[in-house]
Amino acid sequence: MNLHLVNFRQLVCKYIGECNGETDDEREPTVTRESTETDPLMTENVVKLPYGTDEDDMETGTSSSSGDLHDVKICAICFDKPRNCIFVPCGHFVTCHDCGLRIKDEENELCPICRRLIKKVKKLIIP
């Protein structure tokens, strides 16, 4: 706990005890730990975001619509066919098989996401 929070908590407990008629002798001693330079200044709060939501969405109170999630399934090149292939070795899943083959057959043969050389285009059968 942050040293300031510990001190504040002690003051509140002391005040509550005095209001209830307790004296310092009646209460159990409080053990405090000195803070060090490596202690974090603030406590870390881990927030788990639901699928399809990012930090900006949490601030605005919105999340991805089904249309946004549908766009993830459509080829990023032609926007007509579903994504159904991966590039080897990078493993990116961004195009339909036709567009993937066309990119592979081009002169540069580079993945549109990471720009790694595409050695193979593997077609996926998605039910």
- Residue 121 CB-density burial (10 A; 0-12 exposed, 13-18 middle, 19+ buried): buried
Q: Is the pLDDT of residue 88 over 80?
A: yes
Q: What are phi and psi of 126, to 5 degrees?
A: -110, 120
Regarding whether 119 and 76 lie in a shared domain, the answer is: yes
> 127 falls in which pLDDT band (50, 70, 90)?
confident
Q: How high is the pLDDT of residue 73?
A: 87
Q: How high is the pLDDT of residue 108?
A: 85
Domain extent for 38: 1-46
SS3 assignment, position 119:
coil
Which DSSP symbol is given to 102? H
Regarding whether 74 and 24 lie in a shared domain, the answer is: no
- pLDDT tens-digit readout, 90-114: 999 999 999 999 999 988 899 999 9
Regarding whether 36 and 78 lie in a shared domain, the answer is: no
> 1 falls in which pLDDT band (50, 70, 90)?
very low
Residue 60 lies in a domain: no
CATH of the domain at 90: 3.30.40.10
CB-CB contact of 93 with 113 (8 Å): no
CA distance 76 to 82: 9
Mean pLDDT, residues 79-87 taken together: 93
In single-letter form, the type of residue at position 40 comes to P
CA distance 114 to 92: 8
Residue 18 lies in a domain: yes
Counting Cα atoms < 13 Å in the Cβ hemisphere of 17 gives 14
Q: Is the pLDDT of residue 68 over 60?
A: no
Q: What is the pTM of this model?
A: 0.46
Q: How high is the pLDDT of residue 26?
A: 56
Residue 52 lies in a domain: no
Q: Which two tokens stand for residue 97?
A: 């098989």
